[in-house]
Structures are given as C-alpha cells and as structure tokens.
Amino acid sequence: MREIIDMACTACKQRNYSTTKNKKNDPDRLERNKFCKFCRKHQPHKEVK
C-alpha cells in the first residue's frame, strides 16, 4: 500500500525530497514544512507525482 512520492517546494518549485506514504490512510496530497536548500529557508513542500 505504500507509495514513493516526491515533495516540491511551493516557492521555487524544486523537487527536494522523496518519501513514502500510505495511500489508504492519506488519500489526499501531503503538505509539510521542510527546509529548501535552493531558497535557503523553511518552506511548505507539497506532494507531486
């Protein structure tokens, strides 16, 4: 049930992180506050395909 997803910065649109999620427990897209090395600060990152 776990699927590999990429996380992209909402400010600069760079794909910085990859992680896994359980599609059964989290059917909608994830959004987490993570550090963006391109922006050099913490930004919200959203799940992209």
CATH number of the domain that residue 26 is part of: 2.20.28.120
* Res 10 pLDDT > 90: yes
Confidence of residue 38 (pLDDT cuts 50, 70, 90): very high
Distances 39 to 9, 12, 16, 25, 29 between C-alpha atoms, Å: 9, 7, 11, 31, 22
At residue 31, the pLDDT reads 95
**Cα Dmax for the chain:** 34
How many structural domains comprise the chain? 1
User: Containing domain of residue 26, as a range?
Assistant: 2-48
| Phi, psi for residue 26 in degrees, rounded to 5 | -125, 80
Residue 49 has pLDDT above 90, yes or no: no
Give me the percent of the chain exceeding a pLDDT of 90.
94
pTM of the model: 0.84
d(Cα 14, Cα 39) in Å, to the nearest integer? 10
